[in-house]
Amino acid sequence: MKKRLICTALLGAVVLAGCGSKTDANEKNFSAVLTDELKKIEICLPFEKWPYRVVANDSVRMGQMAVLETAGLVSGADFVADELNFFRKPTGRIIKLKNYSLTEEGKKFFHGNTLAKTDTTIFGHLCYGKLTLDKIIKWESPTTTQAVIVTYSDKLDGLVDWAKKPEFQAVFPGAAKLIGKNLVDLAYLKLTSLGWEPQIASGSGPVLVTPDVSFMNPADNLPVATPAANVVSPAPVASAPPEKAGATPSQHHASAAKHPHKNTAKESSAPQVRQININE
């Protein structure tokens, strides 16, 4: 009987040892932590402020917005704004803009920041997928056994239909590099009484933005825009009739007095429209 009890106790110890502990430094525990963390991160486009303004001759952003508009995610409208000089004073010239707003379809893929919302602007990103863990490659303890650096590979998962299209990947090369490829990354994990945890929680940054445009948008430096349909250009001023050969100065003055509403100036007072060069 005593031998039987000893065997049972030994068998129980083997079973417990086989189950392992959450505090063990092993692939299973690290995979569980990273899988949970990656679920919290969305992969998104770099446009953050909506409506999103684009200068009409910004070919890169205009091309990207055209693809999103074709997919039914955004809707564009024509606007204009005053051009400003170095001292942010109006130059008298007008800049053509496009204002793109999220459609109801686009809002389905929108990861918003409600704290930054204003009466006219919402902040957030259009997101098109999530990262999932591919495999644990290796891990090492840089200083103590209470912390490890885990090298792992991940891949994009749950890709939305509009991000699968060739025209989307053509204008968003950063996204194209991520789609269908495994990426190698590092994670810093610490040991707690509850097991392994990330040293920097992903909750502090749940959006991963692919760098498909420069962070500086030329349209952000322009003042409040006006819908182009609401801009009324002054009526063109009629110019004086061409002078007749041999006419004397007195005849010219007489003609001007006879038709005082006519302006001999050749310049029009209509606003001059100019598209700025974003490479300047």
Single out the residue of 207, 278, 271, 280 nearest to residue 62, CA to CA: 278
Per-residue pLDDT, 78: 95
Per-residue pLDDT, 62: 97
pTM given for the model: 0.70
Beta strands in the chain (DSSP E): 42-44, 49-50, 52-55, 74-84, 90-102, 110-112, 122-140, 147-157, 182-192, 195-198, 207-209, 226-227, 272-273
Query: Both tokens of residue 150?
Result: 């885990």
The one-letter amino acid code at 227 reads: P
Cα distance between residue 25 and residue 9, in whole Å: 26
Per-residue pLDDT, 231: 58
Cα distance between residue 256 and residue 246, in whole Å: 17
Query: Both tokens of residue 156?
Result: 């994009």
Cα separations in angstroms, 206 against 64, 77, 109, 130, 266: 23, 31, 14, 10, 60
Query: Both tokens of residue 95?
Result: 């800049």
Per-residue pLDDT, 275: 32
The one-letter amino acid code at 55 reads: V
> Mean pLDDT, 10 residues at a time, over the chain (280 residues)?
41 46 93 93 92 95 98 96 88 93 96 77 93 94 81 93 96 91 91 88 69 86 83 54 52 46 42 34
